[in-house]
């Protein structure tokens, strides 16, 4: 069952491609199979029966090793009695950034796999590409790659205050930066100006890029900006924003962690400069 060959491995693996040093992350019905603090598995800790029929996708890591995402068709909880299922979102604050990023990629790839079983052009079944991370429709030769959706996330600042907003979705209990998807034909700066005006009715002037982040809910590329307030009074768009206010360092509400989110990083950058 174990593969010891040194040639480049395909992205879509069969059980014959598995190597002793592989680290596995198991997904079942969109959730991650964990065992207490254990969020990834080795070939020794896993019961091989669990992954024998799974779709296996290789995710190269910075370290040079491979994370193997195993998407299971049937529940692993019988074969792994102490395991439990956890959502990726529940791991946002509790686990290491490296693990979260790997799990985030695995989660995005599952979205892509389930959304591209059939060709969008001819309706034919797609198949794994032999060596690229792509799904291919043989009859019409279309290739489907994992899709990334670019978004901007922006901290609007005015002297020593920053504009933070509470989303009207998900019963949010924290305040964060404004964010929105880029539209066709826009530059990121265009999106910043449009989104800020649409969401809170404020015009911004100078816009500076600070940082970016892949965000796996479900597959965004977040481009983080700081924008200087120019004019207008805060007037939240109620379908998106429950509340928006100017906050200073002395009266901060609940905000996202800078450890895991670019929103937290933008806020912490502003507070520390
Ligand atoms: Zn097709």
Domains 12-114 and 149-271 alike in fold = yes
What does the H/E/C string look like for the chain? CCCCCCCCCCCEECHHHCCCCCEEEEEECCEEEEECCECCEECCCCCHHHHCCCEEEEEECCCCCEEEEEEECCCCCCCCCCCEEECCHHHCCCCCHHHHHHHHHHHHHHHHHHHCCECCCCCCECEECCCCCCEEECCCCEEECCCCEEEEEEEEEECCEEEEEEECCCCCCCCECEEEECCCCCCHHHHHHHHHHHHHCCEEEEEEEEEEEEECCCCEEEEEEEEEEEECCCCCCCCCEEEEEEECHHHCCCCCCCCCCHHHHHHHHHHCC
* Gap from CA of 110 to ligand 1 centroid (Å): 20
* Gap from CA of 122 to ligand 1 centroid (Å): 4
* Gap from CA of 51 to ligand 1 centroid (Å): 29
* Gap from CA of 137 to ligand 1 centroid (Å): 5
ipTM, two decimals? 0.99
Query: What is the residue-averaged pLDDT of the chain?
Result: 91
Residue 81 is predicted with a pLDDT of: 87
* Gap from CA of 174 to ligand 1 centroid (Å): 45
Q: Residue 95's pLDDT band (boundaries 50, 70, 90)?
A: low
* Gap from CA of 142 to ligand 1 centroid (Å): 6
Query: What average pLDDT score do residues 192-210 get?
Result: 98
* Gap from CA of 149 to ligand 1 centroid (Å): 23
Residue 5 is predicted with a pLDDT of: 54
Q: What are the extents of the domains in the chain? A: 12-114, 116-147, 149-271
Query: What average pLDDT score do residues 147-173 get?
Result: 92
Architecture of domain 149-271: Alpha-Beta Complex (3.90)
Residue 7 is predicted with a pLDDT of: 65
Architecture of domain 12-114: Alpha-Beta Complex (3.90)
Q: Residue 210's pLDDT band (boundaries 50, 70, 90)?
A: very high
* Gap from CA of 173 to ligand 1 centroid (Å): 45
* Gap from CA of 246 to ligand 1 centroid (Å): 51
* Gap from CA of 113 to ligand 1 centroid (Å): 16
What percentage of the chain exceeds 90 in pLDDT?
Answer: 68
* Gap from CA of 125 to ligand 1 centroid (Å): 8
Higher-confidence residue of 131 and 196: namely: 196
* Gap from CA of 15 to ligand 1 centroid (Å): 28
* Gap from CA of 185 to ligand 1 centroid (Å): 27
Q: Residue 183's pLDDT band (boundaries 50, 70, 90)?
A: very high
Q: Residue 244's pLDDT band (boundaries 50, 70, 90)?
A: very high
* Gap from CA of 115 to ligand 1 centroid (Å): 14
Query: What average pLDDT score do residues 220-236 get?
Result: 97
- Which among 233, 176, 164 is positioned nearest to 201, based on CA atoms? 233
């Amino acid at each position: 069952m174990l593969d010891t060959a040194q040639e480049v491995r395909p992205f879509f693996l069969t059980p014959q491609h598995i190597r002793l040093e592989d680290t596995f992350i198991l997904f079942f019905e969109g959730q991650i199979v964990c065992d207490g603090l254990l969020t990834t598995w080795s070939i020794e800790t896993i019961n091989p029966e669990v992954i024998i029929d799974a779709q296996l996708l290789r995710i190269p890591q910075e370290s040079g090793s491979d994370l193997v995402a195993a998407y299971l068709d049937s529940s692993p909880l019988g074969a792994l009695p102490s395991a439990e299922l956890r959502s990726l979102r529940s791991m946002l604050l509790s686990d290491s950034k490296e693990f979260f990023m790997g799990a985030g990629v695995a989660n995005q790839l599952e979205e892509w796999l389930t959304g591209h079983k059939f060709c969008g052009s001819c309706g034919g079944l797609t198949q794994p590409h032999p060596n690229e991370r792509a799904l291919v429709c043989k009859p019409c030769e279309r290739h489907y790659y994992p899709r990334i959706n670019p978004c901007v996330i922006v901290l609007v600042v005015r002297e020593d205050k920053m504009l933070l907003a509470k989303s009207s979705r998900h019963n949010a209990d924290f305040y964060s930066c404004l964010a929105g998807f880029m539209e066709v034909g826009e530059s990121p700066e265009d999106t910043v100006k449009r989104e800020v005006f649409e969401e809170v009715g404020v015009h911004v002037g100078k816009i500076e890029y600070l940082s970016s982040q892949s965000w796996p809910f479900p597959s965004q590329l977040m481009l983080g900006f700081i924008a200087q307030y120019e004019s207008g009074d805060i007037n939240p768009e109620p379908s998106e924003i429950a509340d928006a206010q100017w906050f200073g360092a002395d009266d901060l509400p609940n905000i996202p962690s800078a450890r895991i989110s670019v929103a937290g990083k933008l806020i912490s950058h502003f507070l520390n400069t």
